[in-house]
Amino acid sequence: MSEIEKLTADVDVAEYLDKYVDFEEVSKLCIAEQEELGYNWNYPPFDFDVNDLWNSYNKLRIIAFKINFSEEELEHTFEEKELEFILKRFERLKVKLMNEIYAQESEDAMGLFLGKCNLCMRCTREFGMPCKMPFKMRYSLESLGAYVDRTVEDIFGYKILYAHDGKLPEYLIFVGGLLYDKKDGD
């Protein structure tokens, strides 16, 4: 049986921006992913300046959920469709885990989604329609230009792993966050 471990770290936004964020470069990757997998409202392009959003806050709490798989799960070799189903199930778990981030929001704090938004079965952006859940949709670290792999490795000491050849990785990590300590006048 899988177990979920919560990892958190608080950092200064200015330091994080300097070390881990390159919106121009990362947004190209996000847009390329969307062209392949479908468009999403929490991924660029945006109608706002991402730097203005980052610079509206002093602090960032990085919140990661590490799903550790059991020996039995790791030993099993899955058929491709079976593995896809299992990974989709964990992808849907992000919605439940996001509740922990939503609970920390306030007028002074804004949550960041655990990767690509999956609140809807198919994002309305693909059809040129407005977001159906703007009250729950949040941007993610990567959509705001952060190198999440490097963040997780440097801050928590883990590599981002992926399933391959019918095998689950040792663990999955979903990374979100909370921008907080809003600057005056923002």
Q: Where are the domains of the chain?
A: 3-180
Q: What is the pTM of this model?
A: 0.90
Q: In Å, what is the CA distance from 77 to each residue of 2, 80, 85, 179?
A: 16, 9, 14, 40
pLDDT over 70 at 163, yes or no: yes
pLDDT over 80 at 67, yes or no: yes
In terms of DSSP H, where are the helices of the chain?
Answer: 13-20, 23-37, 50-54, 71-75, 80-102, 148-156
- Tell me the per-residue pLDDT of 32-61, one tens digit each, with 9 for 90 and over: 877 777 788 998 989 999 999 999 999 999
Residue whose token pair is 């778990």: 93
